């Protein structure tokens, strides 16, 4: 039988595994912390986020698309850079898709469309599924995340610290994927 302290320690380990981990120069966001937040933003009647995997140098997302055709879409993202002046994160992306249609005719039609998944037509399909997200821009093989359009971050970017907005005092200098976490690195903004 576990003591009260052991149960409390076990519970804390479970809870803390899903919290951001602070570092001297930034923070790590675990996949377990990111997944529910991404699901809330992406999930709709036509598309749901099923899984998120973070590995060194890349992130993989599994999306289930229901309309205009039934498919599993695997989106592989690789961080490419930070444009702090525009408050943007740029991510290289590639997509592959497989049909999940029930009928043979449906699977055949879906295969025909999905064979073009990593072309401009496939990206237009994905852009249509994610168009309800104002903070996300999709171009051919590139995804741009506009930090100043994310409601939860807007307050932090404009929060005054010693008379100057936090977004001007501190900047995001780099981001990368690590094993099961997204690593964000911060630096002081250069004085003007």
- Strand 58-65 with 88-99, pairing: unpaired
Query: Does the residue 180 lie in any domain?
Result: yes
Query: Does the residue 9 lie in any domain?
Result: no
Query: Does the residue 191 lie in any domain?
Result: no
Query: Does the residue 95 lie in any domain?
Result: yes
Nearest to 21 by CA among 187, 181, 167: 181
For residue 90, give its domain range.
26-149+172-185
Query: Does the residue 5 lie in any domain?
Result: no
Q: Which stretches of the chain drop beneath a pLDDT of 70? A: 68-69, 99-122, 125, 190-192
* pLDDT given for residue 55 in this prediction: 93
* pLDDT given for residue 75 in this prediction: 85
The number of folded domains in the chain is: 1
Tokens 């991510």 belong to residue: 91
* pLDDT given for residue 53 in this prediction: 93
* pLDDT given for residue 60 in this prediction: 93
Query: Does the residue 137 lie in any domain?
Result: yes
Asked if residues 59 and 84 have their Cβ atoms less than 8 Å apart, the reply is: no
Query: Does the residue 103 lie in any domain?
Result: yes
Query: Does the residue 90 lie in any domain?
Result: yes
* pLDDT given for residue 172 in this prediction: 86
The 8-class DSSP code of residue 135 comes to T
The sign of the dihedral angle between the CA atoms of 108, 110, 112, 118 is: negative
């Amino acid at each position: 039988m576990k003591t009260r302290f052991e149960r409390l320690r076990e519970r804390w380990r479970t809870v803390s595994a899903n919290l951001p981990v602070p570092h001297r120069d930034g923070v790590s966001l675990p996949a377990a912390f990111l997944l529910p937040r991404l699901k809330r933003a992406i999930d709709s009647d036509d598309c749901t986020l099923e899984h998120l995997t973070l590995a060194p140098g890349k992130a993989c997302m599994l999306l289930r698309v229901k309309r205009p055709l039934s498919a599993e879409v695997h989106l592989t993202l690789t961080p490419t850079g930070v444009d702090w002046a525009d408050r943007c994160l740029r991510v290289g992306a590639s997509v592959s898709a497989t049909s999940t249609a029930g009928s043979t005719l449906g699977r055949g039609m879906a295969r025909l469309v999905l064979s073009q998944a990593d072309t401009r037509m496939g990206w237009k399909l994905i852009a249509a599924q994610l168009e309800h997200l104002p903070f996300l821009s999709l171009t051919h093989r590139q995804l741009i995340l506009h930090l100043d359009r994310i409601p939860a971050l807007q307050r932090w970017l404009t929060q005054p610290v010693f008379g100057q907005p936090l977004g001007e005092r501190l900047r995001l200098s780099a981001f990368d994927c690590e094993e099961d976490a997204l690593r964000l690195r911060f630096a002081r903004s250069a004085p003007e």
